[in-house]
Amino acid sequence: MNDYFISMFIDDELDLDEKIEFVEAVHKDKEFKNQSVELLEQEKLLQVDVGISMAAMALPIKPRAKQNIFRVWWPPVAGFATACILLIGFFMQGTVPVENSKELRRFVIYQPDIDQARIVGNFTGWSPVAMEQIGDSGYWSVSIGLPEGEHRYSYLLEDGQQIADPTVLARERDDFGGENSIIKVSSAI
């Protein structure tokens, strides 16, 4: 009998023949049985939720003074906006104050060759809001509190060019020949 069958039992890795062997060993060998129980008890403690739900962790949203772990910035991930927004609170820069009923969304765009980037959307009243340059990384960022619901926006580059958010798949043409990205903000996770 291989001792590591105990671990394989704990981890649901035994096939049927091995299970038979395991049960017989537990029945015959008291030390083996005790070892199995002790390791199972240990596993229960190991698997205790140390993780405090990440959603809980991300609230309330407030800027952290702590240094950022990563110097390189990455564009925000599309498609899971709501979940992401809460967590990205850790990295807030260029933050617009958030009311309780709003969720903070961080918009990021990579445009290394321009000197000014702005965002325009229904949540800015379609007035351009300046984005902040993130060091010399080429990324521009702004965080804006968004109420629940559907939102449309695009980025304005310094040459007047309007572009949709490349990280968001949902888009629609506006009445002026441009394209807006569409995101949905739903209630907290």
Positive or negative CA dihedral for 126, 128, 134, 140? Answer: positive
Confirm or reject binding of residue 166 to other proteins (CB under 8 A): no
> Do the strands 139-146 and 103-110 form a parallel or antiparallel pair, or are they unpaired?
antiparallel
Q: Which long-range contacts (CB under 8 A, 24 or more apart) does 36-39 make?
A: 36/6, 36/9, 39/6, 39/7, 39/10
Would you say 30 or 44 has its CB closer to other proteins?
44
For the segment 50-79, give every residue that binds other proteins (CB under 8 A): 50-54, 56-57, 62, 64, 66, 68-70, 74-79
The pair of structure tokens assigned to 181 is 């990205």
Distance (Å, rounded) from C-alpha 95 to C-alpha 63? 8
Would you say 4 or 176 has its CB closer to other proteins?
4
Would you say 91 or 155 has its CB closer to other proteins?
91
For the segment 6-25, give every residue that binds other proteins (CB under 8 A): 6-8, 10-11, 13
Which residues lie near other proteins (CB under 8 A)?
3-4, 6-8, 10-11, 13, 38-39, 42-43, 45-54, 56-57, 62, 64, 66, 68-70, 74-80, 83-84, 87-88, 90-91
